[in-house]
Structures are given as structure tokens and as C-alpha cells.
Structure 1
Amino acid sequence: MEPRGEPGPPWLPQARPAPPPPVPTVPGPPPGGDPRPPRPRFDLRRLTRSPRGAVALGALAAALLLWPFAGFSWIPWLIGLAALVVLRLLRLDGPLRGWDIPLACLAVAIGLMVSTGPWAWALAGSLGVLLAGLAQLPWWRLAAVGAVLCVISGVGFGLSMHQDRIELEQIQARAGDLSQAGIAEESGDIVPTLVLAITQSAPDPDLLCSLLNPAAEDQLARGLGVPDCRAAAPVLFQRRPTVAPTDAGMPAAADPKGPPPAELVLDACATHWAEAAGPALGRVQVQLIDPNQRTYLVTGFAPCAR
């Protein structure tokens, strides 16, 4: 008999092969829902708690406070918008790490500061510090500093406005003393206008008295022995020379190349004015009213030199 051979490998595997890994499945959108991812919600609290948000809020509040004092000008706002657009076009918002919007708000505030005064700047800055501190709560120290600065700058701003109002009232009162009708002439036209007021076909008290301030009116009335300036016009008209007035003897005007002097004495002794009013009122004293227009008003009279 032939020897029995060694048995071969069994036809069945000794162990089952490992199953393949499961294929990951991506969950689909819920039925009837929006397939787009949800947008991030704007968190105002988070924005104001950040340093960039606090600076932007403070600068924006300061700009809004300064805007009325700047006459509601839109130019600073356009400058801030242009600065923001330039920073975005140059792609500097990345290196600035989000400080482009606060810088644009600061540009608006600085542009508005150009048209306002120092106390308005202090008040706007104080309000910005206060709002920045309130936005950064519990940063009570910054809020307290802002509140104290608001009180100080508010008091200073109020006093400044009060002082400006007093100065304006003084200027208006001074202008009222200088002129009742608000009519002033250039230095070379004062004496010709006085001569014209007394040499026309009829007396012109309106033209005559409009050139004089109250003190000059009283002096003229006393010199002619009449009650007031309007009564002086007919007297001067009756005393006028019969010869037509000419430019001869008219005083020269102030030098147009230099700044106008504050006061002038115009020698009208060789004109029809001195012939009608008398040599005691022959020299006309005038005071500068408007340096830009170089206009003067009569403030008094002086006697002619002998």
C-alpha cells in the first residue's frame, strides 16, 4: 500500500476576514430647511466690549456731538467714508486687524474739530471717554473719569458760550452807539456826503444824521443852537453857499495801500460844510466801523486851525 500523504490546508479559512471600514455619510439638510449655513449673528455687546468697538463708539459719539457745533457739515463724514474706502482698497484692514472702522470714525471727529472751539473738543472727548467706559463695564474707573471730564468740560463750555454772548452784546451795543442807521462811508466820501446833505435842492436830515453817531449829533445840535440833528439840517441848508460845490478843498482819503487807521480827522474847513456849519465844526472826526470795507462814521467835530 502507498503511504498516506500529509493532509493539505483546509478549504475553509481558519478566521473570518475583517469587515471593511464603514463609509462616512454626510448628513443632508433637514427636509424643508435652508441648505445654506446659518449667518453669524451681530453681537452689539461683544462689539462694545472690545477695544476697537469702544474706540469706534466713543469717536462716533464725539462726532455726533460736534456735528451741530460745526453747522451740520457733511464734509467730515465724507472724509471718514473716503478714508475707510481707501483702507479697504489698499487691503490695509488686515494688517490693521479691524482698526480701519475706528480710524475712520476718528477721522470724522478730527474733521469736525477743525470747525469748532477747544471747549467743544473737550466736551466731545469727555463724552467719548464716558461712553467708552460704559461700554466696557465693569470698567467703572474709566466711566467715572469720563463723567468727571464731562462735568468739567460742560461747565467750561457753558462759561465760554456765556462769554461769547457777552462779547457779542458789547459789539452790538458799540455798533449801536456808533450808528443809528448803520450807514458808513469810505474816508474819502464822508465830507462830500455831508456837503451833499446840505447843498441839495431841499434839506436832507436822513442823509445828514445817518452819517453821525449820537455824540456827533449832540455836538452838531449844540453848535448850531438847535434841539437835535434833524433840526440842524434846515439850518445848514439855509446857510449853504449859493455856489455849486466842487472837489476843491476836499480832504484826501486814507491810503488805500495800507491798513485803514482806526480814527481820522478830515479837514473840511475849505469846503461848503465849514461855511455852513461854521469854523468851530469845520474838522470832522471819524472812526473806523468795518476794516474789510474800510468804512467810517462821524463821531465828532473839531474847530479849524487858525
Structure 2
Amino acid sequence: MDEPRRAPGGPPVPWTPTPTPPPPTPRFAYLWKRLTRTPYGTAGLGIGATAVLLTPFSGWSPWPWLAGVAVLVMLALLRVDRLLGRWVWPLGGLVVVAGLMLSTTPWAWALAASIGVLVAGVLRLPRWRVAAVGAALCLVSGSAYALVNAQDAREAAAAQARTQAESKGLQGVPAPARLLPTLLNRLAYGDRPEAPGAVCDNLLAEPARAAFTASVAAPDCVAAVRAVTAGITDRNSYADAEAPAVEQADGLVVDACSLTWDGGAAGPQLGVLTIGPEPTGQSYVVTAFTPCP
């Protein structure tokens, strides 16, 4: 150990050890402290966290993020980024957040903010008050978000059902007496690509479709249409056939097993057709089919 120094003509001067310098701050901790203590850093962290939390609620849409990148590129090309300085990155993040907000709902914003508060509270543990507030906010906003989504799903299902009902209203023919000529005409040209669908999907209800398919021992309705078409000898005359018909309360029963033509048989007999309104009541289809004996 060094001997105590003596001042000239005085008592010894006490020895003072050299203070040990503090250990260097880890780089990550240094960067984190720098970010959280600067306005642009704090804004960037908040905007980035908001964008990350909103992304799942937007269906993981990449377009808001691409829009943010496009804005940054445009600012760089216009040299505006030099004027904005370090605020250019928060500005790009704001574009991303704005795009995500356009593709989400207000309750999604509330839930994302609540999750952010909860995460901030967890990071502050054991100080639990912020975490408790975040948990309560998550419970309220999450419940509301689930209810709104369920309501939207019900409305979408109802809209789809209305659309299907309207599309069914476009099937068939507007009057029962017009169904037989329409059906025979489409059968006459059943070898065309669109013809089987025009018969099976447009003129025959499901029970009639199944019975018609079974009447010609075909694997499906499309094959049944083509089988009938193959037996037609005069396409131009086949749709001009006449058949006995009996009116009923909401349509007709047509005996298409007794088809007749002025110039002789133009094709095969078909079956007994029960013609009635489709579910919306806007048009008429074959609701039942009975094969010829």
C-alpha cells in the first residue's frame, strides 16, 4: 500500500482511492432509454404498437403497410424527408395506422388500445393499477367487439339468404303455360355447354330433378339432359309439341307422356310434369316429375 503523503511541514495527507467507473450501460437499454425520452421516439413507439395491434383486426391486410412504405419512398424521392428529419418514420407509421383504421371498426380500435394499456401495465408490475385498468378495458371492448362481429355475421347471412331468394326468383318462367315449350326447346339443344344448366338449375326443382335423372338411368341431371337430347330427331319441331294439361290451384299438371307433333314424332316422350311456383312465388318451375309408364 502506498505510504501517506506528507505535506511540507505538516501532518500526513490521507490517501484517497481512485473511484471505480460504473459499468457501461447495455446498448439495448441505452437505445430504449433514448427512444422513450425523445418526442419522436415516443411517438414512433406508440404508433408502431398501435399498427401492430390493429393488424390482426384488419384481416392481416398488407395494403396499409405497403401504403406507409410508399409514402416513405415518395418523401425520399421528393427530398422532403430532410425537412422532416427524424419525424419521417412516425409520419409513415401514421399512414399505416390510418389505413388499418379504415379497414377495421371502432370497437377494434378500442380493443387494440385496451390491449396496449394492458401490456403497458404488465410491464409496470408489481405496480398493478395500470394492468387492472387494461384488463377491465379489454373485457369491455372485447365483449363489445365480439357482439358487433356476431351481429355483422347475422346480417351478412341474412343478406346472402335474400340474394339467394332473389336469384331463385329469376329461375323458371313467368307463367305455367310457358314452361313446357321452354323445357322442350332447351332439351332439343341439350348438347350445348349451357343447356344442361338451363334445364337442371333453372327449370327443375330438386325433387323433379332427381326423378328426371332416374327416369333415364343417368348418373346426374346433366347426363340425363344429354340422353334425352340424343333421342330427339327434329330439334326445330320438338318444342312445338302439344300435351294435355290440367289446371290446379297454383299451376298445371302436364302429361308430357302424350306429346304430339303436327309432322310426326320429333323426339322421345318426357313424363308427367307438375308445374308450380318456386319458393319466392315470382316464377314457375317443375316441382314434381313422374316418369312415363
TM-score scaled by length of structure 2: 0.46
- Greater C-alpha radius of gyration: 1
TM-score scaled by length of structure 1: 0.45
